[in-house]
Amino acid sequence: MNVYFIGAGPGDPELITVKGQRLLREADVVIYAGSLVNPALLAFAKQGAAIYNSASMTLDEVIEVMEKAAKSNQTVARVHTGDPSIYGAIKEQMDKLDKLNITYEVIPGVSSFLATAAALKLEYTLPEVSQTVIITRLEGRTPVPEKEKLASLASHNASMCIFLSVHMLDNVTNELINGGYPADTPIAVVQKASWPEQKIIRGTLSDIAAKTKEQSIDRTAMIVVSRCLDSDYALSRLYAPEFGHMYRDAK
Ligand code: SAH
């Protein structure tokens, strides 16, 4: 294998998978997404590994580094934040590698929306409250398809994790309210989940934007909207005594 795409997790260096860490230790070349990957992870790289920060590189430059390494039989760890399948720009790299016949494997990681739930001690899927998690973002330089506009997603009142949008929190809350979330719906903003400087702000759709501005949070934060943040719920069927299943008989 030439290239390993590794989900590095949300920030805490202990939240990379065992497999991801091993491959990072073994790699001859490391290309990491410097804007978000915790530099502490680079301490795992072996002595003498060539290290590149992709923040200042173009797609073609990244591919060139991979191609050179592959030609000299070196392995590359391409380190992405969280899990590479979510806003990771991984597909365009894989497509180029396919064309060049360079082999690769993807190692999943702990996405920041999961570290955010952990920080909030939140279950996104409470029975009779929400059984759906929507991962989305507000339109920025990357457009969002018409049918996925925040207001129309909001009409479901499902749990929502909104990436890449905290700097536009006013727009986010307006769209959510326009889309049908009541203004008192609980919402939380978690900045740098799992990092030592993690910050949590809780509020409602009507007051979160002001609270977040007060704390000068305008990047690397997850927005979570969900009735699950504060709500009565039904107990799960999984552990209910009167419900049996494959591993346990009903009482
Ligand atoms: N692939 C990454 C997401 C990359 S997009 C993942 O799976 O997490 C970058 C966005 O992710 C940021 O704008 C922010 O919304 C979110 N993000 C990344 N790391 C975060 C963290 N530690 N805490 C909160 N949000 C984070």
- pLDDT of 124-174, one tens digit each? 999 999 999 999 999 888 899 999 999 999 999 999 999 999 999 999 999
- State which ligand 1 atom lies nearest to the alpha carbon of 112: 8
Q: What is the mean pLDDT of the chain?
A: 94
HEC string of 5-51 equals EEECECCCHHHCCHHHHHHHHHCCEEEECCCCCCHHHHHHCCCCCEE
The correct answer on CATH 3.40.1010.10 for the domain covering 3-107 is: yes
Among residues 209, 242, 243, 245, the alpha carbon closest in space to that of 225 is found at 209
- State which ligand 1 atom lies nearest to the alpha carbon of 119: 23
CATH class for the region spanning 112-229: alpha beta
* Residues within a 6 A CB radius of ligand 1: 10-11, 36, 80-83, 86-88, 111-112, 115-116, 163-164, 190, 192-195, 220-222
- pLDDT of 79-106, one tens digit each? 999 999 999 999 999 999 999 999 999 9
251 Cα: distance to centroid of ligand 1 (angstroms): 44
82 Cα: distance to centroid of ligand 1 (angstroms): 7
- State which ligand 1 atom lies nearest to the alpha carbon of 219: 13
More confident residue, 228 or 235: 228
Reading phi first (left if > 0) and then psi (alpha if -120 to 50, else beta), residue 212 is in alpha
Report whether 179 contacts 105 (CB < 8 A).
Answer: no
87 Cα: distance to centroid of ligand 1 (angstroms): 9
35 Cα: distance to centroid of ligand 1 (angstroms): 10
Stretch 51-72: mean pLDDT = 97
- State which ligand 1 atom lies nearest to the alpha carbon of 110: 7
Domain ranges of the chain: 3-107, 112-229
Q: Which of 54, 81, 141 to mutate for ligand 1's pocket (most ligand atoms within 8 Å of CB)?
A: 81
